[in-house]
């Protein structure tokens, strides 16, 4: 039987400032002890990846300087233990299928009610 995953370090990659802060709030409500690094584009995310390992990453797909899929690919290659979750407004299968093919472990819709979003985060454990 697999032990529950214990998160210590979480990366958020989301370019919309309000959504980035909302994600941070949601994570802290579910995992109050974690350290969260907030990034707003691929360049900042790459810099954060050079500094430390992450247990969980919430990744937006559409960014001003590219696609979040690039960071999912990086985790797959260099940190396969990291749980990469796409946070998106897109419910279309094509977007989600592509992310799963790149190694995302799942996805969360940005427009979920807070309680539902937090429940899905808890299920990651």
Per-residue model confidence as pLDDT tens digits over 87-124? 988 767 777 888 889 999 989 999 999 999 999 999 97
Confidence band of 81 (pLDDT split at 50, 70, 90): very high
C-alpha to C-alpha distance for 77 and 100, rounded to whole angstroms: 14
Instruction: Name the nearest CA neighbour of 5 among 59, 84, 78.
Output: 84
Conformational region of residue 60, where left means phi above 0, alpha means psi within -120 to 50, and beta covers everything else = beta
pLDDT tens per residue across span 44-65: 999 999 999 999 999 999 999 9
Bridge partners of 109, per DSSP, are: 88
**pLDDT reported for residue 97:** 86
pTM above 0.85, yes or no: yes
**pLDDT reported for residue 3:** 34
Whose tokens are 């960014």? That residue is 63
Whose tokens are 């233990």? That residue is 81
For the segment 62-71, the average pLDDT, to the nearest whole number, is 95
**The tokens of 23 are what?**
């994600």
């Amino acid at each position: 039987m697999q032990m529950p995953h214990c998160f210590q370090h979480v990366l958020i990659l989301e370019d919309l400032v309000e959504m980035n802060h909302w994600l941070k709030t949601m994570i802290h409500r579910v995992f109050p002890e974690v350290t969260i690094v907030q990034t707003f584009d691929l360049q900042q995310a790459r810099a954060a990846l050079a500094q430390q390992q992450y247990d969980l990453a919430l990744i937006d797909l559409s960014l001003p300087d590219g696609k979040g899929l690039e960071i999912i690919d990086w985790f797959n290659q260099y940190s396969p233990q990291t749980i990469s979750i796409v946070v998106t407004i897109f419910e279309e299968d094509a977007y989600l299928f592509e992310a799963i093919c790149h190694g995302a472990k799942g996805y969360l819709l940005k427009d979920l009610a807070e309680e539902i979003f937090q429940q899905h985060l808890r299920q990651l454990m």
